Structure 1
Amino acid sequence: MAISSPRIHFLVVLLVFLLSISLSRAEIRFSEIRSDGRSIIPFDEFGFTNTGRLELNVSRISFSNPNPDLSQLGFFLSTRDSWLHVLQEIQSGDITCALQSKVIRKVYIFDQLDPNTANTETSSFSTFHEEHEPGQFTLVFANCIGQLQVSMDIQSAMYNLDPQSGRRDYLSAGSTILPKVYFLFFVVYSSLAALWVFVLYKKRLTVFRIHFFMLAVLILKALNLVCEAEDKSYIKRTGSAHGWDVLFYIFSFLKGISLFTLIVLIGTGWSFLKPYLQDKEKKVLMIVIPLQVIANIAQVAIDESGPYAQDWITWKQVFLLVDVICCCAVLFPIVWSIKNLREAARTDGKAAVNLMKLTLFRQYYIVVICYIYFTRVVVYALQTITSYRFMWTSLVAGELATLAFYVFTGYKFRPEVHNPYFVIDDDEEEAAAEALKLEDEFEL
């Protein structure tokens, strides 16, 4: 049966979108499909080497129609380029079903089912597929029969074999190095936390409460990374996270909330400029924290469901929207502090002191924007343009940007015995006043 034009448009958007996204997990996955009428159901994406393997077990297969054409139903593997070629074949009329294309890797066609058990509770099959051509493949189920709804239980396992030991590696070709990468960053952040403890002890007479909050953020980040390292390590060896994913989600949730809270507190000048928060600043925290809760719930749903779920794209959109709102919200307190410092520099007679503080908060504002832009936009761009073998590089780029942001924040807002803001002579005071005057003239 030919696929209609609207359906072709839907498939183009859906498959190109899904095939361009690198999932955070690629382990043994069990999924249930119930009365699903979608013509294309994508499952996990995986980067195969020349020793790639796929094990597929499907059970409890049933259809809404009693005697469908089983040759129009089946599983296949496809790269993004292959799928685009399939769509061109369908549009040109060369084929009427994706399963008829020669560019896909057929895994199992349902006409191989036992006719005596087809469409019954005992209908099932197991198949094994070897992939010797390296590439980024997506496991896809095709239903080329209009109005047919399919139900089944699927357990899939994709892995590569180590050429030397023959052991299974359940991480994608571009992610197999991630356990080492995460552990390396864990060591770096643990060292930073130890260094920060030393700084706090050495400068304990000038330590503010927010410096201890910075330490807590560093510790949570380190714990998050070590849990992610262990999570990926277990998945690499066994295909299952063995509970490490739960710890990862917990520390990821705490790290996300604490980081955004820290940015808001520093941006308001809490503990540096004033020991309290204004009502509007408290409202920002009341907005950011619940949104971070929603973002983490969405992240769990995205990771655990996979793209085959009908609400996967919805959760992805929720996560992106909430993350953008949080990133925008944390900028407001910094802008308010800059405004207040500019006004104070003109009225309280301490132009030089406030000008230096103003410069610091302007720098912090720029750095926060750069951090948000790099980790949300540039890293995503790297994911889409980087070869599947080097998908880990986008993660390293994001982690390096985060590390640079942490180091900048700690260095600029470190405790100081002799605060340079208050070591100001008369000449510097006059120069600062003149600078503020020139700034006013420039703005006019």
Structure 2
Amino acid sequence: MEVHTEMYNLDNGVKDFLPAGQTQLPTLFFLFSLIYISFLAYWIFTCYQNKLSAHRIHLLMGLLLLMKSLNLICAAEDKHTIKVTGTPHGWDVLFYMFQFIRAVLLFTVIVLIGTGWSFLKPFLQEKEKKVLMIVIPLQVLANLASIVIGETGPFIKDWVTWNEVFLLVDIVCCCAILFPIVWSIRSLKETSKTDGKAARNLAKLTLFRQFYIVVIGYLYFTRIIVFALRTIAAYKFQWVSNAAEETASLVFYVVMFYMFRPVERNEYFVIDEEEEEVALAALRDEEFEL
């Protein structure tokens, strides 16, 4: 005996195979993909206009925007196809593929920016390489757990275990990417008083402190606030957590790309004599410690 079962909502007489709280997701993801495509076009234009100040990290940042755009396009098509037909028809494979590349690139870019690679120094120290060697394999495991969680449910064996693995790995990755930023802050703090470039180093120190706060805020919002929204939101408003997560991600990308954009005269690195004297005085009183 063969049995075919369908579960759907009726929207003005049209079948909608997505849950009531997710039916807005195709439009939401598509709109955000357009924003990121526009962002990518502007980033390419900025890098071209300031090609003498562009570094390898800026190319990776552009690649990150491309992967994020493709990830959102595939997410929109995946949800739209499920909404219309009830099955993803292969779009889920593309979605998970670009999600994996995007996640690995995001953590890699944050680590490399945190070390100052390519725009402050052309190499990575051994401890910084070890962070990357830890983060990338963990992201592979986290994405594997995400696929299992997304494509199955509590009815399979070890589903709860996969959730715990994903949560643990995600926390470890979030903590690991903060170390290079802390190391850069401490290194700049130690060298600021000895290399004769106090103002320039103080400006860089301020930049990395701000970046540290931005990363902490982004991780806190997307890992705690979004999780809380998914938990407390009514079933018809489950899409709100996705909207909040994508909005927070967009704000983080805009702030990070603005802070480390390629420009001819970066306000963090171009200092005059008066600012140098002020910085020397500030460094004498500087007691900041992470």
TM over 0.5: yes
2:25 counterpart residue number: 178
Distance 1:256 1:232 in 2: 20
CA pair 331-156 structure 1, distance change in 2 beyond 3 A: farther
Residue 67 (structure 2) aligned to one of 200, 220, 223: 220
1:436 corresponds to 2:283: yes
Distance 1:349 1:325 in 2: 38
User: What are the within-5 Å matches in structure 2 for residues 173-252 of structure 1?
Assistant: 173-252=20-99
Bigger Rg over Cα: 1
Q: 1:241 is aligned with what amino acid?
A: P
Number of corresponding residues: 289
| TM-score computed with the length of structure 2 as normaliser | 0.97
1:336 corresponds to 2:148: no
User: What are the within-5 Å matches in structure 2 for residues 380-399 of structure 1?
Assistant: 380-399=227-246
- Are the counterparts in 1 of residues 30 and 73 from structure 2 also a CA contact under 8 Å? yes
User: What are the within-5 Å matches in structure 2 for residues 6-405 of structure 1?
Assistant: 157-162=6-11, 164=12, 166-405=13-252
Distance 2:183 2:123 in 1: 14
Greater share of helix: 2
Superposed displacement of residue 438, structure 1 = 1.2
Q: 1:296 is aligned with what amino acid?
A: N
1:56-98, Cα deviation, whole Å (9 max, x unpaired): xxxxxxxxxxxxxxxxxxxxxxxxxxxxxxxxxxxxxxxxxxx
Superposed displacement of residue 422, structure 1 = 4.2
Distance 1:298 1:291 in 2: 10
Q: 1:216 is aligned with what amino acid?
A: L
Distance 2:231 2:268 in 1: 45
Superposed displacement of residue 243, structure 1 = 0.2
Q: 2:101 is aligned with what amino acid?
A: L
Distance 2:115 2:199 in 1: 20
Distance 2:187 2:43 in 1: 30
Aligned partner of residue 224 in structure 2, secondary structure = helix
Superposed displacement of residue 418, structure 1 = 2.0
Distance 1:237 1:419 in 2: 49
Superposed displacement of residue 349, structure 1 = 1.3
Q: 2:7 is aligned with what amino acid?
A: M
Which sections of structure 2, spanning at least 5 residues, go unmatched? none
Superposed displacement of residue 321, structure 1 = 0.6
Superposed displacement of residue 419, structure 1 = 3.2
Aligned partner of residue 157 in structure 1, secondary structure = coil
Distance 1:422 1:366 in 2: 20
Aligned partner of residue 130 in structure 2, secondary structure = helix
1:32 counterpart residue number: none
1:300-342, Cα deviation, whole Å (9 max, x unpaired): 1111221211211111111111111000000000000000010
Aligned partner of residue 8 in structure 2, secondary structure = strand
1:426 counterpart residue number: 273
Distance 2:149 2:232 in 1: 22
Distance 1:352 1:168 in 2: 64
Distance 2:245 2:18 in 1: 20
1:75 counterpart residue number: none
Distance 2:112 2:220 in 1: 20
- Are the counterparts in 1 of residues 55 and 119 from structure 2 also a CA contact under 8 Å? yes
Aligned partner of residue 192 in structure 2, secondary structure = helix
Distance 2:242 2:50 in 1: 35
Identity rate, percent: 60
CA pair 284-156 structure 1, distance change in 2 beyond 3 A: farther
| TM-score computed with the length of structure 1 as normaliser | 0.64
Greater share of strand: 1
CA pair 384-323 structure 1, distance change in 2 beyond 3 A: same
Aligned partner of residue 283 in structure 1, secondary structure = helix
- Are the counterparts in 1 of residues 199 and 276 from structure 2 also a CA contact under 8 Å? yes
- Are the counterparts in 1 of residues 204 and 269 from structure 2 also a CA contact under 8 Å? no
Distance 1:422 1:356 in 2: 7
Superposed displacement of residue 420, structure 1 = 2.9
Aligned partner of residue 420 in structure 1, secondary structure = coil
- Tell me whether 283-292 or 413-422 shows the greater mean CA deviation: 413-422
- Are the counterparts in 1 of residues 47 and 262 from structure 2 also a CA contact under 8 Å? yes
Distance 2:129 2:236 in 1: 45
Distance 2:253 2:104 in 1: 15
Distance 1:156 1:366 in 2: 50
CA pair 158-269 structure 1, distance change in 2 beyond 3 A: same
